[in-house]
Chains A and B, each alone.
Chain A
Amino acid sequence: AQTVTQSQPEMSVQEAETVTLSCTYDTSESNYYLFWYKQPPSRQMILVIRQEAYKQQNATENRFSVNFQKAAKSFSLKISDSQLGDTAMYFCAFGVSGYALNFGKGTSLLVTP
């Protein structure tokens, strides 16, 4: 069974600063996908970024980037130039084709002025 661990229940960052959210996972699969989802106070789940395990290059989406370390089974999210609208719960998720996603317990990020 795959497990996803987010070791930081809460984090805080000042506006315009950079913050990194951690995620580790455990799997015996070789082909899989990793995702970061954002859940703002509205509670709508929004995909932030995705990473295919077979790709060595780290994914980037504007201010969001990941550090994917396959051997270490680590998938951290870096948010640059943090904005107040980045305040949300962030969930790391692991997926294998044909199966439901496995989610971590989430990290609550607060961006302060």
Chain B
Amino acid sequence: SQTIHQWPATLVQPVGSPLSLECTVEGTSNPNLYWYRQAAGRGLQLLFYSVGIGQISSEVPQNLSASRPQDRQFILSSKKLLLSDSGFYLCAWDWGTTYNEQFFGPGTRLTVL
């Protein structure tokens, strides 16, 4: 079976500090991977998605970047955090085929002070 992990679960960072959130998927190969942000407990905003190693598409230009150094690893980064980066970050994956149900990780709650 497939599982998706995210860490850390909770993070408190000062403004201007760097960020690295990691997501890994087990039990599948060549998945599509996604990073979402959920602010104020509301809707999901798609940040990045990847269809393969080194292939990253950005949906919203902002202070964040993403990388996919391995097939089942997806990293969300920032060189300098802003207050507005606070939120709940969700990683998700799907099979990349015609049936695009997404499976979500447990999320990371980021607070920038």
Chain A residues proximal to chain B, CB less than 8 Å: 33, 35, 37, 42-47, 50, 89, 91, 95-101, 103-106
Beyond A43-B38, A89-B41, A91-B44, 5 additional pairs, beta carbon < 8 A: A44-B106, A45-B92, A98-B96, A100-B34, A100-B49
Does B97 reach chain A (CB closer than 8 Å)?
yes
Among A33, A37, A103, contact of B100 (Cβ-Cβ < 8 Å): A33
Measured in the bound complex, the distance between the Cα atoms of B99 and A96 in whole Å is: 9
Q: Shortest distance in angstroms between B37's beta carbon and chain A's nearest beta carbon?
A: 12
Docked complex Cα distance between A37 and B44 (Å): 11
> Which chain A residues border B101 with CB–CB below 8 Å?
33, 35, 47, 50, 95
Residue of A nearest to B34 (CB): A100
Give min CB distance, A106 to chain B, whole Å: 6
B46 A45 Cβ-Cβ under 8 A: no
Q: Is B102 an interface residue (CB 8 A)?
A: yes
